[in-house]
Structure 1
Amino acid sequence: MIICLPNTVSAAEQLIRPAVVQPQIPSSPLDNINQQPAALYLDNMLQLLKPIHSQLGITVWDMTSQKTVFQYNNQSLMQPASVQKLLTALAATKQLGKQFSYQTQLTTLADQPLDKTQINNGVYSGDIYIEFSGDPTLTFQDLHQLLGSLSTLGITKLTGNIMLASEQDSQLQAPGWVWDDLGICYAAPISPFIINKNCVYGRLSTNGYNKVAKITMMGNRPIDITNDAYFVSPTIDNPVVKPAVTLPVANALPAYLTESVPQCQLTLSRFDNNRYHLSGCHVGAKSLPLAIAISDPQIYAQHTIAKQLESLGISYNHPITTIKMNKQPKFMAQRQVIASHQSDALPQLLETMLLESDNLIADSLLKKLGEVYYQTPSDFARSGQALKTILYSIGIDLSTANIADGSGLSRYNLLTPEHVLSVLTVIYQQPEYRFLLDLLPESGVSGTLRYKRYFNKSPLKHHVFAKTGSMLGIANLAGRVNVSNGHNYLFVLFENGLSPQIKKQQKAPFSAVFLQTMMDVPR
């Protein structure tokens, strides 16, 4: 087996071969863990391999003996990134149940179910309600099919009100989301009104260097985008940075400051009513895909429904409005369902969330579990508290943690490796939650580990099943690993403070290096 050593080790250390199973390096004390062979081995290897510049937090638990075998900074609070989704998955399963699904319904108020006898020459005079539930998987086609049921009844004109109804609160982003991520689809707003992930797609293509580029948006979506961005040649005649004075050789500028490469970036500015402006420049001539997050989901839903009614040949007299869902008994007694759309059940939603690291599903589920727990619309703060309380009820104490969202996008999230390990052990030990381990990405096979460097080839391929957590400065991994000694291990590897420059220079990610050493851990 080849152990890929990071560039932070010395040249002499790079000569060590995997045949040296027990390096002759003094081991450091391990808190609360006996000095067993596995712990000594992993501690010795960590002293050899740990990076210089970033901060680590590690804990390893033997699934066979059901004991912790290794800890390193396991009580340090760190940013979890998308490893946070493990907490969301467990809490959602506990609170919502495996049968949970989102419902989007088309309703009206009437004494009896709506049928063609209540339509006069294509005109229906009653009010129409489109009840949104925050379904993060609702598509244009799903919505079109719902509205199409009006055409099936023979309706060509609506003279009553058309109202978009929901129960959820209006907080669209969690505290701690990075502001310049908000126009990108992986940080789409969390709203009761979600259509096609609240994301629109397009492409930016060149008309030639230093000319205004062309934007093509897909699907004729109700947004307005202007553009003065342009493409530039990948090479220029002069260095980007010129020293103001002649420097001695010893103080010469590093190569990354003097490379002859244009310095360019694109900037997306967001305005009200889902208006955008793209500016700046991009190096090269290859067209770029665009994925732009909707700024105002409510207005977007109103405009989308207006366009879909028009395409169905249905006119209406009044503007489309939004209201809070009425749950009063008198209202509910008269409520008649015209058509309904149901999302996949919770296990399928969680599978997508964990495999693809879907932020929208994670944060929609967090808000939903808060709403169900409190029986009232819930914002991120209350939903985070609900998550803590739900997990405490099954033996997980998060009193020292900070929960800002369900996806891990927020920089305010703080967890220890021990917090995450407690989640994994509950999932493993309690049969009703064990299915969650089967939903994790498999190295070299599925999800975010399918193409991940060093995980998509031997010796890690097929042996690691884990949730990734990646953001600027963060490279985390948590799940289980199968090793050659016949045991399976749950593990949590947190690495924070990883600069882009160091990450680019690494021969292999630290998580891959450490897990490769685990493949030979002694019994």
Structure 2
Amino acid sequence: MRIILLAITFSIATVSLPSCATGAGHYSALDYLPQGSRASVSIRTPDGKNKLSLNTEQMFPPASTLKLLTALAAKLELGDSFRFTTRAELSGDDLILHFSGDPTLTSDDLHALVRKIKAAGINRIKGDIWLNNSAFTGYERGVGWPWDILGVCYSAPASAITLDRNCVQASIYTQDDGSTRVFVPEHQPIKVETEAVTVTKQGQKSKQCDLELITFDSNEYLLSGCLVKREHPLPLKFAVQETHAYTAAVIRNLLRKNGIRFSGNIELTNQRKGKLIASHTSEALPTLLDEMLKHSDNLIADNLTKTLGANFYLQPGSFNTGTEAIKQILLTKAGIDLSHAQLADGSGLSRNNRITATDMMHVLDYIWKHDNQLHLLAMLPKAGESGTLKYRRSMRKAPIKGHLAAKSGTLYGSYNMAGYSVDASGTPKALFVQFVTDYYPDKKGAEKKDDASGTIPPIFQFEQTFYNDVISYK
């Protein structure tokens, strides 16, 4: 049994003011950050001139900016024609479903595969069904993933058998008698119960309670704690805990829908193979990377990381082989030495990842200089316009809006950004890295007033100042 705190996080963004000094000395924008914060900032023009460089050799947790490394390695090693393939094979009376870690495989895709199986003349499976998960090995979660987020979908397991993003939906209702009830869509093969109580805002403060999630085997979940009374249900998304059990339940249902008789067992295997009868392929790598970068998709990043490990070392992929493959690929194919960097996954979710701003600047520089072949710049979110940067309030207004293309990265206490200032055509004018960690502001401290939001957190006062400096360099 695993006990997991159900955390619901909201991203805030706001900002304002002053200008700054450049160079290796004091940078005035950092004065906005609370005492104890650590920061590394760097601005460079594409011709290699450093306009600002501060603490660029110190190690920082990159958070989701790490996906830039994963994307570059995938482009260099796998190529644009790469696709994940899910295969259906026959071996005697047994059906083998060979999974490849496709992070975009859905129940609808699996349904189409079952229809192909039936079209091949198979109306009955006399033996068993084997789910081949040999593509990956080792942990399904990265070392350094906090226990309290393992129940939510942005930390869904990176598994060879991935279906519906390893994420299931439900909703919880508050009730007048002080209890709660849960609704689970009929097609979701999970069980969710609730012991949570309905409280007022004052009651929540006095009880010091939140909504908590406990997970059990066979994808069973229990909600406990309390929830403030609501007029409408609270949508919930749970990370699938046992991916093979979830997939097996979906398969049984799909066979039944398509009139394929089956009364055997569904088991795991890492060895069984058979004769190919049907297959499904994902979109090509550029489409996967566009989704990964624009929307910071952790599952795509981590399943690609494991696939890089499998492809580079010719063995089942894992977080260990995948992160080492990223280092070796960037060294041998891009000349970027990350031997001192600490990588635990490819998404940046692990608190164990550590790189320097200099490392990140080398990656940005290579991407810019080779974009005619890589085509990665167009995949980056654009400030105030697309992806994870569309609603970031520090980027919504001119002159910043539309003039930064970057990858953000946020963990508890860390606020990062890495990318480019760009002109109207998308051509980089400057490269920049922002690593801020150990950021714990005094909630009661003075904050600048803003007509739209009432207050502006210090991190976003810093950001707007920094971004204005980034775009001011020619």
**2:170 aligns to what?**
202
User: Is the contact made by 1:156 and 1:313 (CA closer than 8 Å) also made in structure 2?
Assistant: yes
Measure the CA separation in 2 of the matches of 1:303 and 1:144.
Answer: 13
Amino acid at match of 2:219: N
Q: Which residue of 1 aligns with 2:118?
A: 151
Rg larger in structure: 1
1:324 has 2:270 as partner: yes
Cα distance change of structure 1 residues 487 and 312 upon mapping to structure 2, 3 Å threshold = closer
**Aligned residue for 1:464?**
404
Match of residue 57 from structure 2: 75
Q: Point out where structure 1 has 5 or more consecutive residues left out of the alignment.
A: 7-17, 31-42, 110-124, 241-259
Partner of 2:218: 273
Task: Tell me if 1:516 matches 2:435.
Answer: no
Tell me the amino acid that sits aligned with residue 62 of structure 1: T
The change in CA–CA distance for 1:169 and 1:44 in structure 2 (over 3 A counts) is closer
Aligned to 1:354: 293
Whether 1:426 and 2:366 are equivalent positions in the alignment is: yes
- Find the aligned partners of 2:28 and 2:293 in 1 and give their Cα distance: 30
Give, in angstroms, the shift of residue 235 of structure 1. 3.3
1:112-131 deviations in Å (ceiling 9; x for gaps):
xxxxxxxxxxxxx6321111
Q: Secondary structure at the match of 1:519?
A: helix
Mapped partners of 2:293, 2:356: distance in 1: 20
User: The residue matched to 2:472 in structure 1 has which SS?
Assistant: coil
Distance of 1:48 and 1:370 partners within structure 2: 42
- The one of 422, 447, 471 aligned to 2:387: 447
1:509 offset after TM fit, Å? 4.5
Alignment of 1:354-393 (within 5 A): 354-393=293-332
Which SS does the other structure have where 1:267 is aligned?
strand
CA apart distance, 1:512: 2.4
- 1:179-328 aligned at under 5 Å gives the runs 179-208=147-176, 211-235=178-202, 263-286=208-231, 287-326=233-272
Greater shift, 155-164 or 185-194, is seen at 155-164
Residues 45 and 170 of structure 1: CA distance in aligned 2, closer, same or farther (over 3 Å): closer
CA distance in 2, matches of 1:234, 1:102: 47
Unaligned runs of 5+ in 2: 1-13, 448-454
Deviations 1:59-108 (A, max 9, x none): 11102x23332201001101111011011001111111111010011122
CA 1:298–1:501: 2 relative to 1, 3 Å: farther
Q: Given the superposition, is the C-alpha separation of residues 29 and 141 from structure 1 closer, same or farther in structure 2, using an over 3 Å criterion? A: closer
> Which region of structure 1 is more displaced relative to structure 2, 263-272 or 501-510?
501-510
Aligned to 2:6: none
CA shift digits 1:390-437 (9 cap, x unpaired): 111111111211000000010000011111111111111124554111
8 Å contact from structure 1 (residues 233, 285) kept in 2:
no
Instruction: State how far apart, in whole Å, the 2-side matches of 1:364 and 1:501 are.
Output: 38
> Structure 1 residue aligned with 2:80, among 95, 98, 112?
98
Match of 1:173 in 2: 141
What are the within-5 Å matches in structure 2 for residues 9-158 of structure 1? 29=24, 45-46=28-29, 49=32, 51-63=34-46, 65-109=47-91, 126-158=93-125
Letter in 1 for 2:152: I
In structure 2, the CA distance between the partners of 1:214 and 1:344, relative to structure 1 (3 Å rule), is same
d(CA) in 1 for partners of 2:160, 2:86? 10
- Distance change >3 Å, CA 219–CA 457, structure 1 → 2: farther
Q: Deviations over 1:356-381 (max 9, x none)?
A: 10000000000000001111113212
The equivalent of 1:506 in structure 2 is 457
Contact 2:84 2:100 (8 Å CA) reproduced: yes
Looking at structure 2, the residues matched to 448 and 202 of structure 1 have their Cα atoms a distance apart, in angstroms, of 24
Change (3 A) 1:519 1:383: closer
CA contact 1:163–1:323 (8 Å) conserved in 2: yes
CA contact (8 A) 1:478 1:492 kept: yes
Aligned to 1:489: 430
Q: TM-score, normalised by structure 2?
A: 0.88
Match of 1:248 in 2: none
SS at match of 1:498: coil
Alpha-carbon distance in structure 1 between the residues aligned to 2:436 and 2:154:
22
Q: 2:282 aligns with which of 343, 363, 375?
A: 343
User: CA distance change for structure 1 residues 436 and 138 in 2, over 3 Å: closer, same or farther?
Assistant: same
**What SS class does the counterpart of residue 174 from structure 1 fall into?**
coil
Alignment partner, residue 252 of structure 1: none
Equivalent residues of 1:165, 1:323 under 8 A apart: yes
Aligned length: 445
The 3 A distance-change label for structure 1 pair 126 and 205 is same
